[in-house]
Structure 1
Amino acid sequence: MKKHPLTVGVMAGLLSLAATLPLQAANDTSNFSTPRQQVLQQEDIESQIEHLLAQMSIHEKIGQLALRDWGTFGASDMKSIKQAVREGRVSGFLNVNFSAVDKNAFEELQRIAVEESPLGIPLLFGQDVIHGYETIFPIPLGQAASWNPELIRNGARIAAQEASADGIRWTFAPMIDISRDPRWGRIAETLGEDPLLTSILGVAMVEGFQTSNLADPTSLAACGKHFAGYGAAEGGRDYNSAYIPERLLRDIYLPPFKAGIDAGMQSIMSTYSTLNDVPGTGSPFLFKQILRDEWGFDGFVVSDWNAVMEMVPHGFARNARHAANLAANAGIDMEMHTDTYEKFLPQLMDEGKFSEAQLDTAVANILRVKLRLDLWNHPYPRAQSEAEREQIIRSAQFLDAAKEAAKETFVLLKNDKKVLPLKKGQTVAVIGPLAEAPHEQLGTWIYNGDKKHSRTLLPALRAMVGDEGEILYAAGLDYSRDMSTRGFKAAVKVARKADVILYVGGEESILSGEGHSRGDIRLPGAQAELVAELAKTGKPLAMVLMAGRPLQLDETLEQADAVMMAWHPGTMAGPALADVLYGETSPSGRLPLTWPVGAGQIPIYYNHLATGRPATDDNYTRIDRIGQEVFQHQPGNSSNLLDYGHKPLFPFGYGLTYSDFAYADLELSSTTLDVNGQLTVSATITNTGKRTATETAQLYVRDLVGSVSRPVRELKGFERITLAPGESQRVQFTLAASDLAFHNAQMEQVIEPGEFRVWVAPDAQSGLESGFTLR
């Protein structure tokens, strides 16, 4: 790739624009080497937008609303699409680097835009850079299990550095949908079920992508998605209906978006789903009332892929023309993939159904972000040669960061008999369909990830033990959905030769992500049967699960002595797992969502309401203990499931380490809190075990009585601390009265006086408890 000199036409256009700036700025060239730089560094971006709008034709303005999918074009389309760029009828592209049609497409398309289009407005290249570009980090749900904002910020920063090397300056992340349903395939892309945790981690991702300076050529404009309520789709079925009362929407589903916008997030993507019977892409309530009027968002809104046209099968739009009208008037600035704006906005404007003032607003929102990204100064791929690109992509530093990130995401769910960590002198039988699966460990949304760069588990384990032990291997199953038992005999034979069995299973990457929901979330294929056969050997059995969601474990949980959730850990899965499995690092991950006993418990989440008849451990009878022909009320009447009970398999925030921690001496700075004040909550945490490990202390609160029913617990803070054996540390949280605000039935955000309970805890189901009064 090479740099292109400015053409006479581009220079003339920029000089014309500079002439409209305030005289002092236009004449002061002490800080600028060219008029082009002068324009881009002028503080008053709005004046630049105004000048560009004044020179644009209606068709050029509508062109700025067009985001085209390069991946849908073939060789026969090249002439027409390049001509569209030349005429200013395209604002940007997604998926450019997926096509083999033109390996220099980034550079060539941008050259046409800046040198041959009427005003030289650069293109914006976007892509799904979700959990890495070519250096793949753990899936977002896995990253959320770290409860570590810095880890997530660093991962996004690395992804931005790699992606910008190829010319990408916009990512369709973070996905900050709250989801309480692990059947939903896209839960893998979320940051969990809690609005506070998702807000904190989502902001960290925005900061990593965008940096503190959008004009930095390594920055990517972030895009919060999907606005709003997508994670509440009925039955976990993707693209489906979501019904969310407005109070719940404002208290649970919207806070992460508001936090991202407050952090400077530059774009928002609409949801595919309907929200209370209105497709998100056609909702003025979401995009005009909340996003613009209430929150003052000044970036741009993009539809999801094909979402404008999908309002037709939703039964909300009659046809493509009607869909364009609905989306444009709802506040969708940029249309992804489809071309209804290009085809129908001129007619709609002639008929008075959409105004030029509305069009100018949409164009201004898009130009504002392009100007903030300084695309006029940095339009081309950052890496100007293949050698320069190779120095950036998958550098040793980036791979090390991906490994360290993965290590912090693993959640140890069970460790009976202290089977983990493994010992180097042991003979270990590695069995399972995902033990040596370089593609599957990468997870969903890895358009640029390549399995040939994956570091897998088997060689990493062998490198770890060297001459101090033996690693045996038999897959048992060819892939996670394999129903054949033909490999069982060989697997059991290998298991009998070992001191300990390490089973590596779960879900292939294709079983989670967009459109990949599951009604049955048990281990797919014949995995449960294989684990049962391995358990019959009587050998200690440790299980590593790779998956994009919690799985229903049934008897498998009892058969395994140890269980570790590894999610889909990314490029460096093997070395990261080897380090943790052999105790070089103690696992520190904590669940960012509630793990159900089975699919019949879904939706399940920790911050639920108590109900009028809350279940306890002793106020109902489980199904297998109910007598025959007993009186109707004999099993009890409480909010539970007779077969699953009332508790999850593992609670939100849960996770073990190779050590143990004790919580003691809970103190509140005051037992009363003024509505304009704050108090501190503190406790002492001690590592009572024999290994250095990290604990995540969590602060929870319950409002006992409100004008609307309040959750049994709400996360209000957390702190990660690393302690050596025998070491203690005092953790302290500041709780402000404003942290207790919620929306009442009138949609007013209120702070109501009353009695509160407070916990400092290792998870959402336990901990030290006290109370205070808000007055």
Structure 2
Amino acid sequence: MRIPESTTETGDVYRDLNGNGVLDPYENRSLSAEERTEDLLARLSLAEKAGLMFQTVIEVGPDGDLVQTAGRISKSPTGEVVLGKHLNHFNVHQIETARQAATWNNNLQELAEQTPHGIPVTISTDPRHAFVENAGVAFSAGPFSQWPEGLGLAALDDLDSVRRFADVARQEYVAVGIRAALHPQVDLATEPRWGRQAQTMGHDADRVAEFTAAYLDGFQTANLGPSSVACTTKHFPGGGPQKDGEDAHFPYGREQVYPGGRFDYHLKPFREAIARGTAAMMPYYGMPIDLELNGERIEEVGFGFNRQIVTGLLREELGYDGVVVTDWELVNDNHVGSQVLPARAWGVESLTPSQRMAKIVDAGCDQFGGEECVDLLIDLVERGVIEESRIDESVRRILLVKFRLGLFDNPYVDVEAAERLVGNAEFRRQGFEAQANSTTLLVNKNDCLPLASSISAYSENLSTEHLSEWAKPVESPQEADVAIVRLMAPFEPRDDLFLEAWFHQGSLDFPPGLVHRLSRIADRCPLILVVTLDRPAILTPLLPFTSALVADYGSSDAAVLAALTGKFPPRGRLPIEIPRSMDAVRASRADVPSDTEDPVFPLHFGLAL
């Protein structure tokens, strides 16, 4: 049952969150967020403070009910983590409908009112407005409006478009109760093989900084308030320069390198995020190798454990005093079914979970991502390893965000309104046009595009239903006036560690058999290739026989066809360069933008239709 609003004798309206029948300062809407935070902080037990310093995954029941068992990803029943461990920051994964999500939010907030001080829950999410489905990094749109991935937003090369996307996403998040975004991801995609490029905005640091400002403006608004979504900008100090492009989720990808000496280049978007008041920052898993800053050698441990990076650089040098939340599972191994993913405790693998936690706090982090082991933190304080005053510093930062978002005054949402707003026709139209417009025309021999209507078309990996709206689908290239083939950028499938199968890593070369087969299609009719770039692809072998070549960054078949026919012409510009060969990729420096020799298509390339 929800706590009703009460009115004092002087007419002040408040919610009696601790049930004492008195308007306490932290319940008083007329006071500042800072004043309310200080009052509540003084009232909290150590256990309540510890709970605030964790953010983990819990799952949504089919009808928005609370899941009171351990889930596929979540470790504990919802009631246990909210009432027993005092957690009130949760990352949500699968959402089927807006009604389900909004109902779940309201049920979760009612549960949170049963805690000693009624601290409301903050629900967070990874990106969920595009096409990537990867429980480790992002989710496809589902009931929300669908837009291109971050690379596609960058390809539009238009700040208003980025701001418009962020504003739409903000409205849809707020409608269902999601009040924290675990994005933007502003890493610079300088290593062409890196598997996390789709959600970045390219590798032009100056332009990415401008996109970051527009993105934060759209999500957070001018000041954090009841209509805002608090953003976690990631992954400080920039996760792009991974050795050999391997991802730091996994032990073989733990090393982050700077052979070109461009560490400061990767900081540019984060400097802009700080200037724009990002609510939180997230350090990456990566472990810097052979890095010196200001004449000081940086400890070779993951950034979340690194005091020189979090306290020395982020807090002291760059002046950031917002929340720092770690990336997921730095403390404990993650066991899911028969698979395991070791704790990303790079450089401190020999430490115990308790020792890792102490090092994270000492580094300057405020919140543990993907963990719920509050007992370890409480024990560290009780043993005097961590001072409670240090815990207070983090809790203060965390509570300030909750108060500024207005969650203490009303954490509930209107289920019917959420169903009307989320994924409405206008939002979907804007997302569709962005998908089509973000496509990038790379080759157009003999003005093959735009496609004429009423022709015969052979297709692969393209919906026949959408194709038939403007062309006659045929079964073979021999019958066709044109062939249209959609491809994903190449990758090497892996499936040993948990999450690994969802990451596209390894070589950027297409298999030779595929190249040969496509050339045979091109022998029979003009061939149009549409390549989805979640990473660059080595397109060189395809160029001799391709009549038209188009890149997309997450677009539906309907949006691709709208671009090919000129209904919504492609106007994208490459936010990354397209290397000529894997030899050029291997010879490039991981931290240096546009560093492959003689790229086939340079940064910002794109033809007009």
Note whether the superposition's TM-score is higher than 0.5: yes
Q: Deviations over 1:258-297 (max 9, x none)?
A: 1012112101112111123220110112211222212222
Residue in structure 2 matched with residue 176 of structure 1 by the alignment: 186
Sequence identity (%): 26
Q: Provide the rounded CA distance (Å) in 2 between the counterparts of 1:471 and 1:41.
A: 66
Match of 1:125, SS?
Answer: strand
Tell me if the contact between 2:168 and 2:427 (Cα under 8 Å) persists in the aligned partners: yes
Q: Does 1:345 align with 2:377?
A: yes
TM-score, normalising length: structure 1: 0.65
CA distance 1:552–1:89, change in 2 (3 Å): same
Deviation at 1:110, TM superposition (A): 1.1
Q: Provide the rounded CA distance (Å) in 1 between the counterparts of 2:526 and 2:78.
A: 61
CA distance 1:13–1:75, change in 2 (3 Å): closer
Q: Does 1:584 align with 2:594?
A: no
Residue in structure 1 matched with residue 472 of structure 2 by the alignment: 471
Deviation at 1:525, TM superposition (A): 8.5
Residue in structure 2 matched with residue 593 of structure 1 by the alignment: 576
Residue in structure 2 matched with residue 495 of structure 1 by the alignment: 477
Q: Does 1:520 align with 2:507?
A: yes
Query: Larger Cα Rg: Structure 1 or Structure 2?
Result: 1
Residue in structure 1 matched with residue 607 of structure 2 by the alignment: 656
Residue in structure 2 matched with residue 111 of structure 1 by the alignment: 110
Q: Provide the rounded CA distance (Å) in 1 between the counterparts of 2:542 and 2:573.
A: 21
CA distance 1:105–1:394, change in 2 (3 Å): closer
Residue in structure 2 matched with residue 430 of structure 1 by the alignment: 458
Residue in structure 1 matched with residue 230 of structure 2 by the alignment: 221
Q: Does 1:40 align with 2:29?
A: yes
CA distance 1:298–1:15, change in 2 (3 Å): farther
CA RMSD of superposed structures (Å): 3.2
CA distance 1:504–1:98, change in 2 (3 Å): closer
Tell me if the contact between 1:419 and 1:541 (Cα under 8 Å) persists in the aligned partners: no
Residue in structure 1 matched with residue 388 of structure 2 by the alignment: 356
Deviation at 1:76, TM superposition (A): 3.2
Residue in structure 2 matched with residue 410 of structure 1 by the alignment: 439
Q: Provide the rounded CA distance (Å) in 1 between the counterparts of 2:427 and 2:174.
A: 15
Residue in structure 1 matched with residue 92 of structure 2 by the alignment: 95
Deviation at 1:199, TM superposition (A): 0.8
TM-score, normalising length: structure 2: 0.82
Residue in structure 2 matched with residue 143 of structure 1 by the alignment: 153
Q: Deviations over 1:381-414 (max 9, x none)?
A: x3333xx332112111011101111122111111
Tell me if the contact between 2:190 and 2:592 (Cα under 8 Å) persists in the aligned partners: no
Residue in structure 2 matched with residue 330 of structure 1 by the alignment: 363
Q: Provide the rounded CA distance (Å) in 2 between the counterparts of 1:378 and 1:510.
A: 48
Match of 1:519, SS?
Answer: coil
Q: Provide the rounded CA distance (Å) in 2 between the counterparts of 1:97 and 1:609.
A: 35
Residue in structure 1 matched with residue 404 of structure 2 by the alignment: 372
Deviation at 1:327, TM superposition (A): 0.6
Residue in structure 1 matched with residue 296 of structure 2 by the alignment: none
Match of 1:594, SS?
Answer: coil
Q: Provide the rounded CA distance (Å) in 2 between the counterparts of 1:299 and 1:46.
A: 13
Q: Deviations over 1:357-385 (max 9, x none)?
A: 110000011001111111112312x3333
CA distance 1:301–1:16, change in 2 (3 Å): farther
Unaligned runs of 5+ in 2: 8-13, 61-65, 131-140, 290-299, 333-342
Residue in structure 2 matched with residue 163 of structure 1 by the alignment: 173
Residue in structure 1 matched with residue 427 of structure 2 by the alignment: 398
Residue in structure 2 matched with residue 296 of structure 1 by the alignment: 319
Tell me if the contact between 2:281 and 2:323 (Cα under 8 Å) persists in the aligned partners: yes
CA distance 1:389–1:227, change in 2 (3 Å): same
Aligned match for 2:246, one of 222, 231, 237: 237
Deviation at 1:4, TM superposition (A): 5.9
Q: Which amino acid aligns with 1:365?
A: R
Tell me if the contact between 2:538 and 2:581 (Cα under 8 Å) persists in the aligned partners: yes
Q: Does 1:256 align with 2:285?
A: no
CA distance 1:528–1:383, change in 2 (3 Å): farther
Q: Provide the rounded CA distance (Å) in 2 between the counterparts of 1:41 and 1:403.
A: 43
Deviation at 1:519, TM superposition (A): 2.1
Q: How many residues align?
A: 548
Deviation at 1:166, TM superposition (A): 1.8
Deviation at 1:312, TM superposition (A): 4.1
Q: Deviations over 1:79-119 (max 9, x none)?
A: 9641442356112111265599x974322221121x21111
In the TM superposition, 1:80-91 aligns within 5 A as: 81-86=78-83, 89-91=86-88
Deviation at 1:560, TM superposition (A): 0.2
Unaligned runs of 5+ in 1: 22-35, 437-457, 475-493, 611-639, 659-775
Tell me if the contact between 1:194 and 1:592 (Cα under 8 Å) persists in the aligned partners: yes
Residue in structure 2 matched with residue 671 of structure 1 by the alignment: none
Residue in structure 2 matched with residue 383 of structure 1 by the alignment: 414
Residue in structure 2 matched with residue 531 of structure 1 by the alignment: 518
Residue in structure 2 matched with residue 711 of structure 1 by the alignment: none
Tell me if the contact between 1:40 and 1:374 (Cα under 8 Å) persists in the aligned partners: no
CA distance 1:565–1:12, change in 2 (3 Å): closer
Q: Provide the rounded CA distance (Å) in 2 between the counterparts of 1:506 and 1:83.
A: 42
